[in-house]
Chains A and B, each alone.
Chain A
Amino acid sequence: MKRTRGISPSSNRDAIESWLDVLVSMLNLPSSQRDQVRDELEDHLRSRVDDLLIMGKSEPDAIQAAIHELGETAELAKLISSASRTRTPFRRFAMNATFFVLAGSIMTASISMMMPTSTHNATNTTITLSEEAAPIATAAPDPFEAFTIDVRNATFGELFDEIEAHADRPLIIHWDMLEQFGFSSDTPINIDSNPINAELVFTILAERTEQVFYNSMAAFKRPDRIEIGNRDQFDRRTTVKRIYDLSVFTQPSPPSTSNSGQTSSVFSPRTQHTVQRVMDLMQSHVSSRDWTPNGGSLATSSVLNSTLVVTAPERMHEEIRVLLEELKAQHESQQREQHTQSREALDRIRAEYEVAKQKYLEKSNDYGRIELQGKQIEQRIIQGELSGPDFEKAKAQLGDLELMLKELRIELQEQERRYESLQALLISAESEQLRAGLN
């Protein structure tokens, strides 16, 4: 089915098509949306042209004026793309919610790792404090989970004796640490319950100490031994400084040149902001109250360019690694999506540019050919080679050629505008792609 173009379709109407081609090629939108934008703007242009024709303008002038009134093509394309992609408040909420669910799951995992007080489910609770213990825990049954104990009349000494009897490693009890919580060998456990799993007993006791002292009784499981004492002291024993490279989250600014001509690498405010955000996330979601800015005394962090220096117990480093891996995976997935989109946009622009270049060259050739043809006829008239009907025919032909040249000039200008605009867009998109690749 052919489409009706308006009041008086002619070759000049193609200028609208050409302009729409350029605009659509600049839209960073899915093809269905690009088609809708094209249809809507075509209706606008043709309605305007129809009005201008009624007002007495010539068709080419009307088309030129209508296109000119729409303003800068690239700017219009950018604004329409941006408006179409703008998220509604609900979608923004949904996206944030996704992030917080992710962050929340990381936080929950952290809590279950570091605070046995958070759950009473003995089978799910882990009181592992150091990474060395993990292989042992999976290789052999946890001695804490292996048996139940009648706690109604039991003392701490009896509890640890039971644990030692079932453990596959020596048990070292730091009574000096436990005495800070008021626990000694003959202190009753004082849990009113039927025989329960030893790990649950330990969890309840840890919770009690946590509530009173903000510092928990803890088991420090190493391959060759199990130590029981207090968490802070174990933490301090395993406190190490680690450096985390955050460059994957940041985009360094292009090198800037100072007045002296020396080139220096400058980290943009965006980079600093990103690193700060990662640090804030870490201090909120990994053992938050242990960080010095949050009033704690176990962990400190500082930033140097895109590097994060953290001094903290091993258990916190493990959680930091998990958090950073999660964030990195999410960031990389977003980056991949952006790269795919920009590559597709670049391919589209390149294809449009090639077509525009070809059309421009074809129109230039047409123009040159017709101009030459006209000059040849003119020459023959001047030299008196033609007379009678031939002379009249040549004059009419010359008039037609001049009209064609006039129309071609307008088309050529349009093609040139489109060609140059696409060329600029292509250079800009290629530079962007190159810079993204270098980064």
Chain B
Amino acid sequence: MLNLKQDHSTLVVLSVLADGPSYGYAITKAIAAKSDGHFKLTASGMYPLLTKLEKQGLVTTSWEEVKAEGADPDASGRKRKWYTLSPKGRRQLDKHIEAHKQMQHLLDNFLAPTATATSTNT
């Protein structure tokens, strides 16, 4: 299991939100599911990050009241904070993706000869 670093965390969280609004716990589950359990974003990494994204205007937030199954209809439920990718967040994500692609392309240029050499040797 890999703990995500700050830059990657932003990319990963924004990309999860690109699929639709979500909340803290669901985001951690989505990250684990999308990475086949290889990526883990801890609470101490995720909640401060979500706060920063909100302050930067990359996500918008709203609250929902959640009730357990079979709960008293008159009782108040717990509160859930939903995060939605903002247009600014979408642009930021596109930039991240573009930068990632460029980096990937550059790295491929370095790795290609090695890969060729390896295949020649075998």
Footprint of B on A, CB under 8 Å? 1-7, 36-37, 39-44, 46-48, 69-72, 75-76, 79-80, 82-84, 86, 88
Q: Using Cβ atoms and an 8 Å threshold, which residues of chain A touch B49?
A: 83
Whether a CB of chain A sits under 8 angstroms from the CB of B81 is: yes
Given contacts A69-B43, A82-B48, A88-B55, A43 and B23 within 8 Å (CB-CB): yes
Whether a CB of chain A sits under 8 angstroms from the CB of B79 is: yes
Interface contact A4-B78, CB-CB below 8 Å: yes
The distance in angstroms between the C-alpha atoms of A3 and B76, with both chains bound, is: 5
Among candidates A7, A44, A69, A83, residue contacting B24 with C-beta atoms closer than 8 Å: A44
Main secondary structure of the interface of A (DSSP, over half): helix
Interface contact B76-A4, CB-CB below 8 Å: yes
Interface contact A72-B24, CB-CB below 8 Å: no
Whether a CB of chain A sits under 8 angstroms from the CB of B107 is: no
Footprint of A on B, CB under 8 Å? 23-26, 42-44, 47-49, 51-52, 55-56, 63, 66-69, 71-72, 74-81
Main secondary structure of the interface of B (DSSP, over half): mixed
Closest B residue to A46 by beta carbon equals: B78
Residue pairs across A and B with Cβ atoms less than 8 A apart, 12 shown, are A4-B77, A5-B68, A39-B63, A40-B79, A41-B43, A43-B80, A44-B43, A46-B78, A79-B48, A80-B48, A82-B48, A84-B55
Closest A residue to B74 by beta carbon equals: A1
Interface contact A4-B68, CB-CB below 8 Å: yes
The residue among A37, A75, A80 with the most chain B CB atoms within 10 A of its own CB is: A80
Interface contact B24-A43, CB-CB below 8 Å: yes
The distance in angstroms between the C-alpha atoms of A296 and B56, with both chains bound, is: 45
Interface contact B23-A76, CB-CB below 8 Å: no
4 new A-B contacts at CB < 8 Å, known A36-B81, A39-B79, A40-B81? A6-B78, A72-B44, A83-B51, A83-B52
Closest B residue to A48 by beta carbon equals: B25
The distance in angstroms between the C-alpha atoms of A1 and B79, with both chains bound, is: 14
The distance in angstroms between the C-alpha atoms of A4 and B77, with both chains bound, is: 5
Interface contact B76-A6, CB-CB below 8 Å: no
The distance in angstroms between the C-alpha atoms of A80 and B24, with both chains bound, is: 14
Closest B residue to A39 by beta carbon equals: B79
Q: Using Cβ atoms and an 8 Å threshold, which residues of chain A touch B25?
A: 43-44, 47-48
Q: Using Cβ atoms and an 8 Å threshold, which residues of chain B touch A83?
A: 47-49, 51-52, 55
Among candidates B23, B47, B67, B81, residue contacting A4 with C-beta atoms closer than 8 Å: B67
Q: Using Cβ atoms and an 8 Å threshold, which residues of chain B touch A76?
A: 43-44, 47
| CB of B68, distance to nearest CB on chain A (Å) | 5
Q: Using Cβ atoms and an 8 Å threshold, which residues of chain A touch B68?
A: 4-7
| CB of B82, distance to nearest CB on chain A (Å) | 10
Among candidates A41, A48, A72, residue contacting B47 with C-beta atoms closer than 8 Å: A41
Given contacts A4-B68, A88-B55, A39 and B78 within 8 Å (CB-CB): yes
Q: Using Cβ atoms and an 8 Å threshold, which residues of chain B touch A4?
A: 67-68, 71-72, 75-78
The distance in angstroms between the C-alpha atoms of A186 and B51, with both chains bound, is: 75
Q: Using Cβ atoms and an 8 Å threshold, which residues of chain B touch A40?
A: 24, 47, 79-81
The distance in angstroms between the C-alpha atoms of A84 and B69, with both chains bound, is: 33
Q: Using Cβ atoms and an 8 Å threshold, which residues of chain B touch A47?
A: 25-26
Q: Using Cβ atoms and an 8 Å threshold, which residues of chain A touch B47?
A: 37, 40-41, 76, 79-80, 83
